[in-house]
Chains A and B, each alone.
Chain A
Amino acid sequence: MSALLRTIGVLLTSAVAVTACSTPDAAPGGTASACAPSGGGPVTLTFTSWIPGVEQVVQAWNAKNPDIQVKVQTGPNGNGGTYQNFFNQLKAGNAPDLGQIEYDALPGFRVQDGLFDLAACDIVAQAKDQFVPWTWDQVSLGDAKAAYGVPQDTGPMALFYRADLFEKNGIAIPATWQEYAAAAEKVKAAGGYITNFSQSDVNQFAGLAWQAGGRWFGNDGQKWTVSLADEKTTKVAQYWQDLIDRKLVSSVPPWTTEWDNAYNTDQAWTWVSAVWGANSIASGAPKTAGKWRVAPMPQWSSGEAVAGNWGGSSTAVFKGSKHPYEAAKFALWLNTSEEALTLLNQKANLYPATKAGANLPALATGVAFYGDQKIYEIFAKASAQVPAGFTWGPAMTATYANASDGFKAAVSGKGTLVDALTGAQTFTVQTLKNQAIPVA
């Protein structure tokens, strides 16, 4: 008898859990795809973002716009939990009006139908020309007529290098990847590593492949194509595999104190990184102040001028927002006005996605850590040189995780980077199919 009762007890509890899981299938309110000012009365918007200090930027907006008040919500970064929260909130119908979403996560929200297409807002369509063209690809997601967010910041890449060590050892600053490999040998002979290969942060590799012309994903509106191991990407992978095989690069896990230490103690001499990396070195390697400089990214053929991009995010409006027009208005102010862009740069080192943003007074001065070099001039040029047409996939978290495992194995001598990419290719196609996302 008591066994029976116990079973019933268990069944009851699990039934409660199951119904709780499956209840709210109700469509989020306000399905209107039109984007017009909501008439009458002040509007309050919610905006979730993890940009440090974003409250102060929003305060500046609130002071000037009594009719459109924005409330900031914050939390961990996107992959740290905020994206999952967005998905939960979309399901429960209480997503914020606006959210910060990195470019590589945007397609995931698009395939879940969680985003409001801002192209319906005339103010957004008109603002398109203010942005650096490739950044618009990051939010239109393969459909030239769509805009699933407003580009916020970017991470154009360049070469950070230790000017003092290169000079002391008589090594020329590499302008091409061939020269970079040659310099790597000389650096090794001088007792250092030219750089650290990022084994667990596939994002950097994506930036390198992007520069070389790799195109990982495509979407024709019907089906996704996946090409993680395309010809250009394979070329980049083979190049780094060669440096790893010849032990010319170190492979410390990135973003650790060990990694900081490699830069702080002259073990790593260069870093091909994004504009925000300027701050990472300055804080991670304080002993090397004044010794770093920035040069354009090495090129695949001499005379070219192509850069990669690493990172960057957009401000998206979620489906279900009752005030998409006002939300769009705020998103545009946040990402195009000189006031907001300057504040975002000061508070969180964001590098703007607009053409005019490159000329911010805050970005025109020399930086003491880089020997007063005006490093942002290099990044402004790089931003204009990032190739258009790079698209992220709808399940990047899974893709990254799989590729990263492969990279770690390759670094420790099991398999190669190319193997890792072909493995991630197969895995990603399977993941998309499992999620019922059509793959060509």
Chain B
Amino acid sequence: MTTHPTTPAETVRHRGHSTVPRSAAMLIMGVCTVYFLLPLWWLFVGATKNREQFTGTSPLWFADFHLADNIRELIAYRDGVFLRWTLNSVVYTGGAALLGTLLAAMCGYALAKYRFPGRELIFNVVLSGVLVPATALALPLFLIFSQVQATNTFWAVFLPSLVNPFGVYLARVYATAGVPDGLLEAARIDGSGEIRTFFTISARLMSPALVTIFLFHFVAVWNNFLLPLIMLSDERLFPVTLGLYSWNTQIAQVPELRGMVIVGSLISIAPLAVAFLLLQRFWRTGISTGAVK
């Protein structure tokens, strides 16, 4: 049985070839992991300390564990305004991501599956919207909302957050590839209306793309800080990012706030983590389903 073309020496060399890059890769990944997780670790450790220990003890290891006290203090501060902010964030972000995903899906689907004059023009306008950063639009939006006296309202943040040109693009690309025309025709022949077809057939076929759009949108709205900063002056309407930022700017005046900002930041990343962990499963199955086909 010596027909095998590789000699032992070659095998060794081959193995040596692949182990060096592999350990190097592991090393780089390990360093990156530590680098990315270190701030989170710092945040968690910091959130468990009381004010005295925060400056006095090592920033990367625990002192007495005060996390529960700190959270209680944070929630009680100023009649629970922090909870209100968190709720606002969930409503702005969850609402905008759900509705925004639906709009993007319908829009992308229509652009992919219906032929009508101006289709490409509309698509290109949407596509050029991807290139305009949200930051650049915040001030024009403020001036527009000022004209209709709608600044400092829930809608001033919610309505602009619904728009997601990248989602439209993604939905169109996915619908073109993932929703067969034949299936739609069959549905039409069976007497299904267009809207019913969209929700019962197309939307399901597009679901992996929709999860991706939802997640991207969720993160984008959650992190969109400038728009609420410019639009809102009523503290009761703030999302948690803006609220914590306001506190952070007042630390020089009210040093107690430093601890609140740290605990608040820790809590405020929880919804993002939850959204990712819950949706990751759908996302992964979606991607692999596509890959096997």
Q: Which A residues lie at the B interface, using CB under 8 A?
A: 2, 5-6, 8-10, 12-14, 17, 20-21, 23-24, 48, 50-52, 73-77, 79-81, 84-85, 88-89, 91-94, 96, 255, 257, 260-261, 264-265, 276, 279-280, 283-287, 348-349
Contacts and interface: CB of A to CB of B under 8 A. Distances in A.
A255 B253 CA distance: 11
Nearest to B138: A88
Interface in B157-215: none
Interface of B: 51-52, 54-56, 59, 120-121, 124-129, 131-132, 136-137, 139-144, 146-147, 149, 151-152, 229-230, 232-235, 242, 245-246, 248-257
Given A17-B136, A21-B143, A50-B246, A348 B128 contact: no
Nearest to B246: A76
Given A23-B144, A73-B234, A89-B146, 9 more contacts: A9-B127, A21-B139, A24-B146, A52-B250, A75-B229, A76-B248, A92-B142, A93-B146, A279-B255
Contacts of A10: 124, 128, 131
Given A12-B125, A20-B143, A81-B229, A2 B120 contact: yes
A330 B144 CA distance: 31
Contacts of A13: 125, 128-129, 132
Contacts of A24: 143, 146-147
A8 B118 CA distance: 12
B233 A257 contact: no
B233 to A, nearest CB: 4
A94 B132 CA distance: 27
B245 A76 contact: yes
A257 B242 CA distance: 22
B124 A8 contact: yes
A50 B235 contact: no
B140 A92 contact: no
A348 B141 CA distance: 34
Chain A CB within 10 A, most for which of B54, B55, B131, B229: B55
Contact of A257 (B55, B151, B248): B55
Contacts of A88: 139, 142-143, 230
A388 to B, nearest CB: 26
Contacts of A20: 140-141, 143-144
A257 B54 contact: yes
B59 to A, nearest CB: 7
A255 B251 contact: yes
A307 to B, nearest CB: 20
A9 B121 contact: yes
Contacts of A81: 229-230, 245, 249
Contacts of B232: 75
Contact of A9 (B52, B125, B242): B125
B55 A284 contact: yes
A75 to B, nearest CB: 5
A17 B245 contact: no
A17 B135 CA distance: 12
A284 B56 CA distance: 9
Contacts of B131: 10
A276 B59 CA distance: 27
A261 B55 contact: yes
B249 A80 contact: yes
Contacts of A52: 250, 253-254, 257
Given A6-B127, A80-B246, A264-B56, A92 B252 contact: no
Nearest to A259: B55
Contacts of B249: 50, 76-77, 79-81
Contacts of B255: 279-280, 283-284
A9 B127 CA distance: 8
Nearest to A347: B254
Given A80-B246, A261-B55, A8 B121 contact: yes
B235 A261 contact: no
A74 B56 contact: no
B259 to A, nearest CB: 10
B268 to A, nearest CB: 16
A80 B248 CA distance: 9
B3 to A, nearest CB: 57
Contact of A255 (B54, B141, B229, B252): B252
Nearest to B257: A52
26 contacts: A5-B121, A5-B124, A6-B127, A10-B124, A10-B128, A23-B143, A23-B144, A73-B152, A73-B234, A74-B233, A75-B235, A88-B139, A88-B230, A89-B146, A92-B151, A94-B149, A255-B251, A279-B253, A280-B255, A283-B256, A284-B55, A285-B55, A286-B52, A286-B56, A287-B56, A349-B254
